[in-house]
Amino acid sequence: MAKNTYKAEDIKILEGLDAVRMRPGMYIGTTSVRGLHHILWEIVDNAVDEAANGYCDRIEVKLYNDGSASVEDNGRGIPVDIHKKAGVTGVQVVFTQLHAGGKFGSENYSYSGGLHGVGASVTNALSEWLKVQVYKGTIYEMEFRSEKDEKTGKIKSGVPVAPLKDTKVKTNKKGTFVRFKPDATVFETVEFSVETILKRLKELAFLNKGLEIDFYDEHTDFHRIYKYDGGLIDFVKYLNEGKSTLYYQPLYAKAEKDGVLVEFAIQHTDAYVDSLYSYVNNIPTPEGGMHETGFRSGITRVFNDYAREKNYLKDKDDNFTGDDFKEGLTAIISVKMQNVQFEGQTKTKLGNPEARPAVENVTINALSDLMKNKKLSKVFEAILDKAASAAKVRLAAKKAKEIARASKSIESKNLVGKLAACSGRKPEMNELFIVEGDSAGGSAKQARVRQYQAILPLRGKPLNVEKKKIDQILLNEEIATIISALGTGIGSEFDLSSLKYHKVIILSDADVDGSHIRILLLTFFFRYMRDLINEGHVYIGMPPLYRATKNNKSVRYLYTDKELQNHLAEVGKCEIQRYKGLGEMDAEQLWETTMDPEKRNLMRVTIDDAAEADRLITVLMGDEVAARKQYIFDNSDFDKEDKFSKMKRS
């Protein structure tokens, strides 16, 4: 209970890194596994900034058996001299002072990344210990530890064990080595994901041409080196593996305009959706922003001018739209600039208005120059042919939509007998369960809370949209029903503000067919409603595999084979019911295991690496059978613990 008095002595002044320790979420977003990797990225990004500014060409990342991680670069090394204002060395300032660093001006770094945090000091604050070595002719060393304050009993973070020491040991190396051990009392898990780290390191190697990134995991003796001398060109080729491209070599350009360095690579495929991924100072911007707007407008303008020049468009013809040129486009755009302003739900949208004209200008000028190269005439003809074909489909689809809009009864008719809508008027409170099969759908309709839970049974497998044009997609009954139920539209007409249900829950059987339905739906959402995933509205329901009953009294639901084994070891012999599908559950069982917000297991679908997700969808859902077989062969490990057993309830 709050006390009645409120005096100056009640105001807490958090000194040094105490603020980070008390409210870590303010600095790294979350203390989940995502936050754990965030403190690693802060150190990695410092090294990459050295590379991006021309001072470093090699980075080593290592995981150790004791749970610690290290990052070493061959850059200039953190300053070891005394900071005049702070009265301590630059190393101590960097690791103990918030908002301290050499990146606030342009003298030392033209461009810098960082994941919108406050750098190395946060990593130090959230670690049991951190050790740093700086190589500048000799080796300098310093160590920091979290320790308990004897007076207050509280943990004080990142305390220097001793001042920076010049060991006098000579070295030919240059740069900085940082090793730290995440604090297990702060994070939900301190187990780094090798897969997550590899994805980010590969991405950084693509974005920084010629940079060598060396990764080693001491636990498994796993070693991997990334280095791409083609940079963004190699990145686009990697994303287009398994796709049929319209031309062999991606188009590439790099130029600076008004202090904004713009670099992009593009290549068209025979696909029907685009794959555009943007970065600012090596940071992914999945929500887009001004740089993407400038790039798209530049693409549209320069290609339309070329289309008229080559008589693809007559004077009376309307211009092609940006969507026409986007169809089948794979593009990477990397922008480097100072004073970056991020916006959006997850601070991954570029807000700097000066980026738009700069990127548009570079895009137009670079592509105009490439269009003058007669050797590339066939390339641009292929692009225009693709745009013309897309325009025809777009106009046909537009007519179909106009007919549908002319009669609202058509849209509502699609849902008659299918959607059991909820009565709630607040979308943020409402949930839509997309359920596999009429049988499970019937149980779900009986079990639901009508005020906020809606049920949409699927009567067949959804369409694989990866292989279909937009007009074919709109004709598919299951997909059309989902579009109507959500109310957002799709593709370029997608409007998240019209979403009727803020939780969209895929509920399918825990078998191969159920997994197939999940991936088909997720492919559709990723390609045509991506912001639905980006904004955290898509979930996967986790039905149990077993129902264990002891002496006809105690009932427990188990979600993995390992949970079953542990339960049997704990309680001994009991009656086990194996659910083959959702249809085997009655309404009461479905409610208490899968639909009750207090008890159910839900897995939120996120996109940590949109570019990699794009490539995997192409591999898994595209036409290249050999690539799909190879992926399954490389990634299947049936001995591993079921990953769903670690999912948290939400």
Tell me whether the CATH fold assigned to 232-398 matches the one assigned to 409-543+585-617. Answer: no
Question: 18-226 sits in which CATH class?
Answer: alpha beta
Question: Would you tell me how many other CB atoms lie within 10 Å of the CB of residue 66?
Answer: 9
| Pairwise CA distance, residues 176 & 73, whole Å | 6
Nearest to 210 by CA among 59, 63, 334, 72: 59
In the set 309, 438, 513, 596, the catalytic residue is 513
Q: What pLDDT is recorded for position 165?
A: 94
Q: Which fold has domain 232-398?
A: Ribosomal Protein S5; domain 2 (3.30.230)
Active-site residue, 317 included: no
Active-site residue, 258 included: no
Contacts of 577 (CB under 8 A, 6+ apart): 546, 547, 548, 549
In the set 258, 428, 493, 511, the catalytic residue is 511
In the set 73, 183, 263, 509, the catalytic residue is 509
Q: What pLDDT is recorded for position 116?
A: 43
Q: What pLDDT is recorded for position 343?
A: 81
Active-site residue, 72 included: no
| Pairwise CA distance, residues 207 & 229, whole Å | 10
Q: What pLDDT is recorded for position 344?
A: 64
Q: What pLDDT is recorded for position 291?
A: 96
Active-site residue, 318 included: no
Nearest to 455 by CA among 420, 431, 481, 427: 420
Report residues of the chain scoring pLDDT below 50: 1-15, 103-106, 115-117, 404-413, 416, 638-650
**pTM score, two decimals?**
0.75
| Pairwise CA distance, residues 205 & 47, whole Å | 12
Q: Where are the domains of the chain?
A: 18-226, 232-398, 409-543+585-617, 546-578
In the set 292, 436, 466, 478, the catalytic residue is 436
For residue 152, what is the DSSP state?
A: T
Residue 475 near residue 396 (C-beta atoms within 8 A): no
Write out pLDDT tens, residues 95-144. 988 765 554 444 555 555 554 445 788 999 899 999 999 999 999 999 99
Q: Which fold has domain 409-543+585-617?
A: Rossmann fold (3.40.50)
| Pairwise CA distance, residues 548 & 557, whole Å | 6
Tell me how far CA of residue 261 lies from CA of 189, 264, 522, 603, in angstroms.
38, 10, 35, 39
| Residue 294, CA atoms < 13 Å, CB-side half-sphere | 28
Mapped onto helix, strand or coil, the DSSP state of residue 271 is coil
